[in-house]
Amino acid sequence: MILFALFNLLFLSLVAGDNESPSQHRRFLGHSDATGGEKKGFSPIELTLISAAAAIVLFLLALIGVFFYLKKMKRSYRVDTAPSPPRSGNERLVIFKQLGVPLTFDNVVQGTGNFTARNCIGSGGFGSTYRAEISPGTTVAVKRLTVEMCQGVPQFNAEIRSLRQIKHPNLITLIGYYASPSEMFLVYNYLPGGSLEDFIRSKRNQVTGVQAVSKIALDIAVALAFLHDDCRPCVLHRDVKPSNILLDNDLNAYLSDFGLSRLLEGFESHVTTGVAGTFGYVAPEYALTCRASPKSDVYSYGVMLLELISDKRALDPSFSSQENGYTIVSWAVMLRREGRTEEVFAPGMWESGPEMMLRELLQLGLICTAETAPGRPTMKQVTMKQVNNGASVVLLVNDNHNRHCKRSLALATYDDSQEKNLSEGKLVQAM
């Protein structure tokens, strides 16, 4: 306002010459008058006003510069330091599995570095996951949920206590949780092998054998088959993708984030597609109707399998150069249709073979991603198909780890006609 007033006064002083003679206007412009008078510039008042206005402009520009600099520094600081969890005075964790060391609200939060970005090991629609070192040799994974996305604490407690009953060798173990109106997080066992997403990214520089790929694919198929068919009620994952699959040092695969969509029931605006899932992995019918089914998980599994054998992402940047912009599904279909099947696989994988197993994995990925739900197999069928293709050899690598998996396989039904349909790429109706 002060700057505006100064400019206003300056303007009025300059235009005051409306009642002055032309000679006075010429003197203002620095010209001598008609009588040969001396040149005359700005008056002292005018010079004072101009100087004051210029000084204020420079001052305001400096303030603006300082403002944006501090704003940038604040944003940079936030990346490394998340807000401290609000305290209610009764921070008590609910523990389901003892680790041999005390597990408290304080040492979990401190173990994550107060949820700093450097300890973040993954992010998704349900929240971010952090590595937390509780004590030397004891590390856990902490899934911090966005409170606004969750149901109330009583409903949250009820759902969590239901989820803790779901146990399987290929499901990540829930150790405990904390829930309050202002903070909610889950504590899982930590796996040093990282996520499948990290594995796919790292193996781009080396050839990974089909046995290792088949083992990972089978582990996840068994886990999903268990959730769909052995749990009552049926548990839908709704967000199967490489970042939600974790590995140990022996490449045993574990499915995480199962059942979390139930914690967010009634709040689904957190996902990019409007449903509980990630764009690129969501089945067409689920994206259109927002109604999930076991076949929705099958589609997501198929996308994951195509990523695993190709080292491509679901929406890989390399697809943008293709006509119409392919997804990994349409890209793989196009290559197989044109007789370029070997180009689907990661560099060196096709040459390492065996070719038959590679073709079967590709065929399975494409059938799982059939456009319509009835055209996809069930997860039990997917599991048995992989065993019949030779993945059963991999299953025996770690007998202790897979004892429950063998039980799940024994429960699966898979007749010869279904095997023939899958081998020929025909549509498979739900069992």
Domain boundary among 22, 53, 79: 79
Residues 352 and 315 placed together within one structural domain of the fold: yes
Element of type H or E holding 336:
helix 328-337
165 with 207, same domain: the answer is no
Listing DSSP states for 50-63 in one string gives HHHHHHHHHHHHHH
Distance CA 314, CA 335 (A): 15
- Please check whether residue 431 lies inside any domain of the structure: no
Give the CATH number, domain containing residue 399: 1.10.510.10
Q: What share of the chain is helix, strand, coil (3-state, %, to 5)?
A: 50, 10, 40
Asked if residue 154 belongs to a domain, the reply is: yes
pLDDT at 231 over 60: yes
**Does 175 lie in the same domain as 26?**
no
The residue from 167, 189, 211 where one domain ends is 189
> Where is the binding site, in residues?
143
332 and 231 in a single domain? The answer is yes
When the pLDDT of each residue in the chain is averaged and rounded to a whole number, the result is 78
Residue 174 is part of a domain; what is its CATH number? 3.30.200.20
Q: What is the pLDDT of residues 71-129, one digit of tens each?
A: 555 444 443 445 556 555 457 899 999 998 999 999 999 999 999 999 998 887 778 99
Let me know if residue 89 belongs to a domain: no
Residue 324 has pLDDT above 70, yes or no: no
Strand partners for 133: 139
- Is 239 tagged catalytic? yes
User: Do 239 and 267 belong to one domain?
Assistant: yes
Give the total number of structural domains in the chain. 3
Within a domain: residue 88?
no
Kindly state whether residue 75 falls inside one of the protein's structural domains: yes
Banded pLDDT at 223 (limits 50, 70, 90): very high
Domain with 19 in it = 2-79
Q: Tell me: the pLDDT tens digits for 13-64?
A: 544 444 444 444 444 444 444 444 544 566 777 777 777 777 787 777 777 7
Say whether both 169 and 211 belong to one domain.
no
Q: Single out the catalytic residue among 18, 33, 230, 239.
A: 239
The SS3 call for residue 186 is strand
* 161 & 121 share domain: yes
Say whether pLDDT at 430 is over 80: no
Q: Are residues 70 and 207 in the same domain?
A: no
Flag whether pLDDT at 326 surpasses 90.
Answer: no
Q: Note whether 242 and 260 are same-domain residues.
A: yes
Same domain, 396 and 300: yes
205 domain residue, yes or no: yes
pLDDT at position 428, please?
Answer: 39
pLDDT value for 204: 66
Residues 6+ apart with CB under 8 A from 228: 234, 235, 236, 294, 297, 378, 379, 380
Q: State the distance between the two ends of the chain, measured CA to CA, in whole angstroms.
A: 76
Those residues with Cβ within 8 angstroms of residue 230's Cβ, 6 or more apart along the chain or in another chain: 408, 411
More confident residue, 263 or 284: 284
Task: Please enumerate in sequence order all residues whose Cβ is within 8 A of that of 346, keeping only pairs 6 or more positions apart, or say none.
Answer: 203, 204, 207, 208, 309, 310, 311
* pLDDT for residue 241 is more than 80: yes
Question: In degrees, to the nearest 5, what angle opens at C-alpha 167 toward C-alphas 161 and 169?
Answer: 155
Q: Which residue carries 């997080």 as its tokens?
A: 185
- Which one is predicted more confidently, 218 or 424? 218
Instruction: Place 158 in a pLDDT band, splitting at 50, 70 and 90.
Output: confident
Give the CA distances from residue 426 to residues 6, 87, 299, 372, 418, in Å, rounded to whole numbers and listed in that order: 82, 57, 16, 12, 9
Share of the chain above pLDDT 90, in %: 47
Cα distance between residue 303 and residue 317, in whole Å: 16
pLDDT at 189: 93
Q: Please tell me which residue, 384 or 45, carries the higher pLDDT value.
A: 384
Tell me, yes or no, whether 75 and 138 share the same domain: no
Chosen domain end from 142, 163, 189 = 189
Task: Look at 132 and 27; give whichever has higher pLDDT.
Answer: 132
Question: Is there a single domain that holds both residue 62 and residue 118?
Answer: no
